[in-house]
Structure 1
Amino acid sequence: MADLKMLDASDRELSSPYMMWYRFSRNSSAVIGTLILLSVVIFAVFAPYLTPFPKHVGAVVDFRARHMAPDWIHWFGTDKAGRDIFSRTVFGLRISLLLVIGVLGISVPVGTVLGLIAGYFGGWSERLISGLTNVMLAMPPLVMALAVSNLLEPNLMNAMIAITLLWWTWHARLIYAVSKSIASEDYIEAARLAGAGPIHILFREILPNCIPVLSVKTTLDAAFVILFGATLSFLGFGVKPPIPDLGSMVADGRQFIPDYWWEVLCPGAALLYTTLGFNLLGDGLRDMFDVES
């Protein structure tokens, strides 16, 4: 009887993580998304060693090789300056991932903390944070980002600033809604009566219950950040040339369509490949955590 009780206790402890992993591993789209992102990260991190022409990411000009179609030497062809598009695309993936890390690394913690404060304390803090969030959300994101980028010099840091000024609002609103519903639970009141302080309740009681929805939201947002950054670069307000960026590469190649189609198709396909990986992984995390859509 004692052994059965110990087995049941062990099964209860392992059931939740096991079931989450089972749902994730059985989700083919989640596995494919993980493999896609793993390949993107490997190429981005080891770009100088995995690209045939790493020097082509800089101000290199070879007019004898300009507009060459894809072949065994130049897998994605060459651009108007004779630079290898495959090498520049791989380094462009590195820029996209840096943008995701920079934007979400700031906006997610800021939005999470503000959402926790507004949802738990309520009162004037809730009105202040909710009012600020509503004001920021009322501004068209692209217009706001273009305005900020127009005031600053086009580079990766300023592109991060322009996107981060807007992105924390969605995380703040999400965590506010979740924490406000959790704050009324009995175990929160029990922790308060047991002498737990606000910091303990916010980060040890409420925040762990926000992790599932926060993980799904962050993963899906990574794809939108990449697209948003590519849009800024496409419009000339993102990364400054000759640094390769997928959005600026598409913008440079569009003037040569349809004759030199690979100059747009290949960077665009890399952009689609990366965002697809984040979306598939986000769907897998949603199924693993059993988060409602």
Structure 2
Amino acid sequence: MAESCIPTEITDLRGFDVPSGKTDVVFIIEGRKLYLNKGILSFASPVFDKMFHGDFKEKSQEEISLPGKKCKDFIEFLLCIYPNTMEEISGDTAEVVLPLADEYQVQQLKNKCETFLIKQGLDDSWPMHIYIIRSGERLVHSIVLAEKYGLDDMLEKAFALAADRKFSDLKNEAEFVTVSEKTKTELMLKRIDLLETSGLEISTQTKTLLDAISSNPNCEHAVYSPKLRGKKWCTADKCNQSLTSSSFISKLEELGKQKDSFNKIFHLLGVKQYDGIAQKQISLF
């Protein structure tokens, strides 16, 4: 390969550019020669194991070219599987190493990448969690990565968080077009389920409260109340049909406990929290 094709930004090959007594294969990537050991590569990767010990032409080759690979990325991959380095996954290397770990079926390394990406972008314990999760771009990107590389745990976590977001917001992210139709459909169905569940909780309590209110106009103590749209409502002390009676107040309190359900619905719809509205409605009584 011509010298001009060799990437000049790679200056440190972390020792892989120096042959040793254990070198028995050379990988050529972007014009750079990496001196490696078949045993180490075979132990880490079933793909390399078949390459070196199966019925493939690479079995007898001393130098093997890997077109389409980036030398810098491949070195990061090697640093994670070589026993004398075994570097940890970081924010700079996770998405660099993951495609190679997937291609060469290094499952343990792939699991490490998934664990790191979940912790970095989807886990409450991560310091940047609030900032990252608010980013629809990061959330959609996590789904795309999970689908592409078969990261089931990551997909499940990202899916749950995405279902809690406005679908229109997710659709505006550039990578959303690469999300599978299956996941898109399941996201919509999950959002419908969340809305129905929260709505049912509110509906049950509201019906109980309305049933209690409906009998008030028949009470002999009922009076007109401008606060209650000019209708007659009982507010007499010790009357079991009164809006101030313990039975009515208990029902009102039960409805008040559904504030989280109101907030959940409003959040799913992209509306501000219900707290202020709830307080305004309750003050009418």
Asked if Structure 1 and Structure 2 have the same fold, meaning a TM-score greater than 0.5 normalized by the shorter chain, the answer is no
TM-score (norm 1): 0.23
Rg bigger for which structure?
2
Q: Relative CO higher for 1 or 2, CA cutoff 8 Å, sep ≥ 6?
A: 1
TM-score (norm 2): 0.24
Higher helix share: 1
Higher strand share: 2
